């Protein structure tokens, strides 16, 4: 179908995967109203009725990226490429009072999830049940199970932008999951700011296991992956069913712990201790030895001394995460830390500590990866070229973790599930050889 410029809408989605889900929901609404959706990574000189930028406002670098993207789009609008420019999302939710004054060239500002307001502004009307328009490859998709957060972490501005914690019902989530599965989605990545508390507000107790089992009944799905488990309360019942004989949940635990020093954890208001975190990690591995542990840490929190940092390094050595990210502390307005602490660790020292922690992690993860050589693992294929086949195992989440590379094979297709033998690695990426392409076996 050929669309006129008056029906062409560009969307740029910045920030986290929860934001991506919002962008896809908006795209579904607009597509249902007869608009053509054009996904863009950055502003481009193409003719559009409107460009919509869904922004992130989490930390300074994300805010800076959002503002720079808006300013690039303003220039292209003034050159005549976009009839209108709209900005939505977390940055607007946080700074709606000052943004219109600072960037008056933007035609409209909308907070998170203001989908119907955007549609009305564009003069559209959706007369059918909207379905998400995926921006990810069709074989995997993200699904948001809740919104907002009730935690009081000192460094975090998300409750300021997204509000209090609100779960979606299992029935609503399952209905959306079925729609995605019918579109060809094989891996479902469930996301929430606080996955561990899913269901507590509507079922009077956390309901992750029930959600997982309900979603495992969807025949077309092969893998289910959970992101952002909070350490307290930890859902051990979910770890117990991370096995093909019990559910389709892959043995992958994404649990940000943020630090390994009791004093810093206390100042961060994380409601955990170093020993509690160690006990959780040990117990989940005892319950399910196949579990891969992914986590993130923050360095340079106000008052972090060399001793605190060394406690973080020893925590990494003790818990040896298989997948890990580490980020510099960002001093965010209106957070508890901003109001009560001084940002007293230099950016230079933050970066030095990140490098030192990553050097330690590289040593530990290579030891683990060496132990896996020769193992046969399931692989979901993400890309096929004349030079290689690339995918990810159930140990890696797409977009954030590493990949596995296989020799080119004309019989392998994108989105296929196969088995591969691990033959080596380079940095954090695997090399492997295909063993079988039997879909059901590869679960």
Model pLDDT, residue 131? 86
Bridge partners, 63 (sequence order): none
Q: Do domains 140-372 and 376-436 have the same CATH topology?
A: no
Question: b/e map of 400-424 (b: 16 or more CB within 10 Å)?
Answer: ebbbbbbeeeeebeebbbbbbebee
Model pLDDT, residue 437? 63
pLDDT at 442 over 70: no
What is the CATH number that goes with domain 5-121? 3.40.50.12160
Average pLDDT score, the chain: 94
User: Per-residue confidence at 113, pLDDT binned at 50, 70, 90?
Assistant: confident
Question: Does the N-terminal peptide bond of residue 233 adopt cis geometry, omega within 30 degrees of 0?
Answer: yes
pLDDT digits (tens, 9 = 90+) for 143-172: 999 999 999 999 999 998 899 999 999 999
180 in Cβ contact with 188 (< 8 Å): yes
The token pair that represents 126 in the structure block = 């959706």
pLDDT at 3 over 60: yes
- Mean pLDDT, residues 19-47 taken together: 95
Model pLDDT, residue 126? 75
The token pair that represents 108 in the structure block = 């409209």
User: Per-residue confidence at 253, pLDDT binned at 50, 70, 90?
Assistant: very high
Helix (H, G, I), strand (E, B) or coil at 305: coil
Model pLDDT, residue 438? 53
Domain segments of the chain as ranges = 5-121, 140-372, 376-436
- Mean pLDDT, residues 90-102 taken together: 92
High-pLDDT (> 90) share of the chain, %: 90
**Dihedral (Cα; 170, 171, 177, 180), 10-degree rounding:** -150
The C-alpha atoms of residue 361 and residue 356 are separated, in whole angstroms, by 9
Model pLDDT, residue 443? 36
The C-alpha atoms of residue 3 and residue 19 are separated, in whole angstroms, by 27
pLDDT digits (tens, 9 = 90+) for 259-272: 999 999 999 999 99
pLDDT at 109 over 90: yes
CATH class of 376-436: mainly beta
The more confidently predicted of residues 119 and 437 is 119
How is domain 140-372 classified at the CATH fold level?
pyruvate-formate lyase- activating enzyme (3.80.30)
pTM score, whole prediction: 0.93
The C-alpha atoms of residue 133 and residue 225 are separated, in whole angstroms, by 20
pLDDT at 441 over 60: no
- Mean pLDDT, residues 180-194 taken together: 96
Closest to 123 (Cα-Cα) out of 279, 16, 6, 247? 6
The C-alpha atoms of residue 45 and residue 99 are separated, in whole angstroms, by 24
- Mean pLDDT, residues 181-200 taken together: 96
Look at strands 417-426 and 429-436 and give their pairing. antiparallel
């Amino acid at each position: 179908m050929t669309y006129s410029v008056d029906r062409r809408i560009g969307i740029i989605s910045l920030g986290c995967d929860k934001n991506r889900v919002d962008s896809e929901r908006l795209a579904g609404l607009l597509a249902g109203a007869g608009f053509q959706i054009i996904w863009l990574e950055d502003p481009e000189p193409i003719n559009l009725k409107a460009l919509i930028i869904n922004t992130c406002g989490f930390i300074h670098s994300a805010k800076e990226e959002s503002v720079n993207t808006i300013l690039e789009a303003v220039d292209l609008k003034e050159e005549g490429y976009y009839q209108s420019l709209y900005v939505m999302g977390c940055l607007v939710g946080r700074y709606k009072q000052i943004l219109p004054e600072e960037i008056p060239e933007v035609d409209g500002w909308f907070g998170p999830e203001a989908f119907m307001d955007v549609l009305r502004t564009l003069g559209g009307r959706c007369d059918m049940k909207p379905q998400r328009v995926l921006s990810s490859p069709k074989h995997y998709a993200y699904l948001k199970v809740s919104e907002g957060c009730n935690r009081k972490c000192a460094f975090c501005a998300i409750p300021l932008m997204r509000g209090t914690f609100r779960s979606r019902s299992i029935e609503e989530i399952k209905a959306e999951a079925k729609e995605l599965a019918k579109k060809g989605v094989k891996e479902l990545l469930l996301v929430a700011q606080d996955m561990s508390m899913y269901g507590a507000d509507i079922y009077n107790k956390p309901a992750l296991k029930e959600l997982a089992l309900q979603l495992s009944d969807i025949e077309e799905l092969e893998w289910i992956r959970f992101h952002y488990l909070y350490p307290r309360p930890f859902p051990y019942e979910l770890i117990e069913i991370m096995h093909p004989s019990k559910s389709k949940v892959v043995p992958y635990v994404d649990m940000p712990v943020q630090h390994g020093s009791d004093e810093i954890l206390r100042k961060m208001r994380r409601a955990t201790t170093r020993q509690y975190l160690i006990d959780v990690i040990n117990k989940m591995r005892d319950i399910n030895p196949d579990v891969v542990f992914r986590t993130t840490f923050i360095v340079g929190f106000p008052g972090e001394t060399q001793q605190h940092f060394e406690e973080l390094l020893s925590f990494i050595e003790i818990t040896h995460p298989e997948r890990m990210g580490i980020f510099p502390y960002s001093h965010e307005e209106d957070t508890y830390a901003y109001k009560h602490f001084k940002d007293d660790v230099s950016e230079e020292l933050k970066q030095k500590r990140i490098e030192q922690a990553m050097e330690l992690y590289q040593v530990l993860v290579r030891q683990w990866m060496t132990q896996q050589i020769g193992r046969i693992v399931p692989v979901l294929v993400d890309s096929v070229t004349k030079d290689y086949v690339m995918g990810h195992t159930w140990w890696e989440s797409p977009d954030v973790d590493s990949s596995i590379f296989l020799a080119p094979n004309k019989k392998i297709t994108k989105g296929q599930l196969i088995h591969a033998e691990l033959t080596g690695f380079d940095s954090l990426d695997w090399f492997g050889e295909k063993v079988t392409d039997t879909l059901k076996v590869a679960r």
